[in-house]
Amino acid sequence: MYHGSGQWGHWCLCIFEPLLVLLKTAIKAKKHPMSQNFLEFAYFEGGFISFTEAKISIATHAFQYATSASGGMRAIPNPSDPTEILLFRLDRHTARPSSSAKFLQHQISASEIENKIVEFIKINKPTCPIYIRPMVYNSGLGIAPRIHDIEKDFLIYGLEMGDYLSSDGISCRFSSWYRQEDRTLPLRAKVAAAYLTSAMAKTEAVESGFDEAILLNSRGKVSEASAMNIFVVRNGELITPGVNQDILEGITRDSVIVLAEEMGIKVTQREVDKTELYIADEVFLTGTAAKIAPVNRVENILLPKEKPITQKLLQKLTAITLKQDEAYSKWITVIKI
């Protein structure tokens, strides 16, 4: 019995118990999937500090009411010169959070966001592809949902990110959740409140054996995936839901439209019916994290294996993001670290 084991047992416990706690903490920290890949420094409350020290109060308004809006962009070391960090369409990726911030009555210019992102990269010196998240949020504490009369702030953090979805192709289901309407949420802004629906749709898809969800809008037309826009190829032409279909106006979507038109592929933005996806020649999703994700299956319908237009666009976009396409070097900002 412990009490009867005398001084020796007591000392053993004094020495080994803290060691055991340390070991357990180390194992836990190692196993935690998210603790490993965040970049070392975050921009928080007006300065650059260690990511692990950037903390908010549990009473933060944005935490309680999703009163925040974010951006999301990739940065990749140039494969032929890793001292160069390549940013894709930085102007668009700073303009969107700036305009999203207007819905929170937070005035922050695109150039202010851009300057901070450049500083963020120079301080963190990434050595692999990363995802950068700038975010504006109601930083004040308090109850009562509102936009006015509450402090705001701006932060940036980043994490290492490889491929978000398999480039071999994915399966999609139609979500039982519908995309919100522009009259209920400012969907052109990347507002946090919209992402509960995205999260539920994604989880429903994954838990029922699919990779991704496709959401219809309240009028029953195809809107977008959980956090990606959607394109359909029919008879050599590209079709995508228009900007009036409650979509987030994706920057990758815009890039694909520009590239396809330049390749001589006709692009139509219009209402898309659910059944068009079943009989499509190709379907793919677009987004910053995944670039272009080919779709192999919609519900129980297999799509053709050959995806020439998807592949052509993916190759083109990949070359551009790696600064290997002179004609589109205007879309790449180089930051020397």
Q: Which residues bind ligand PMP (CB under 6 A)?
A: 72, 190, 198, 224, 227-229, 248, 250-253, 286-288
Closest distance between ligand PMP and the C-beta of residue 287, in Å? 4
Tell me how far, at minimum, the Cβ of 44 lies from ligand PMP, in Å.
Answer: 22
Query: Concatenated DSSP letters for 106-143?
Result: ----HHHHHHHHHHHHHHH--SS-EEEEEEEEE-SB-S
Identify which of residues 150 and 277 has a Cβ nearer to ligand PMP in the complex.
277
In degrees and rounded to multiples of 5, residue 48 shows phi and psi of: -95, 125
Which residue lies nearer to ligand PMP by CB, 153 or 246? 246
Nearer to ligand PMP, 150 or 293 (CB): 293
Q: Which is nearer to ligand PMP, 67 or 70 (CB)?
A: 70
Burial 3-15 (b: 16+ CB within 10 A, else e): eeeeeeeeeeeee
Give the number of C-alpha atoms closer than 13 A to the C-alpha of residue 76, restricted to the C-beta side: 20
| Residues 6+ positions from 9 with CB-CB distance below 8 Å | 2
Tokens representing 14? 């004094």
- Please list, in sequence order, all residues whose beta carbon lies within 8 angstroms of the beta carbon of residue 20, skipping any fewer than 6 positions away: none
Nearer of residues 49 and 185 to ligand PMP, judged by Cβ = 185
In terms of CB distance, is 124 or 288 closer to ligand PMP? 288
Least Cβ distance, residue 47 to ligand PMP (angstroms)? 27
Minimum distance of ligand PMP from residue 252's CB (angstroms): 3
Distance between CA atoms of residues 21 and 13, nearest Å:
12
Burial class (CB within 10 angstroms; exposed 0-12, middle 13-18, buried 19+) of 96: buried
CB of 103 closer than 8 Å to CB of 69: yes
The least CB distance from residue 337 to ligand PMP, in Å, is 24
**For the chain, first and last CA: distance in Å?**
62
- Provide the minimum distance between the beta carbon of 198 and ligand PMP in the complex, in angstroms, as a whole number: 6
Residues 206 and 28: their CA atoms lie apart, in Å, by 26
Least distance from ligand PMP to the Cβ atom of residue 256, Å: 9
Residues shown for the chain = 337
* CB-nearer residue toward ligand PMP: 150 or 226: 226
Residue nearest to ligand PMP (CB): 250
Q: How far is the CB of 50 from ligand PMP (least distance, A)?
A: 27
Selection from 27, 295, 16 nearest residue 168 by Cα: 295
Nearer to ligand PMP, 114 or 224 (CB): 224
Q: Are strands 130-138 and 152-160 parallel, antiparallel or unpaired?
A: antiparallel
Least Cβ distance, residue 235 to ligand PMP (angstroms): 25
Q: Which is nearer to ligand PMP, 26 or 258 (CB)?
A: 258
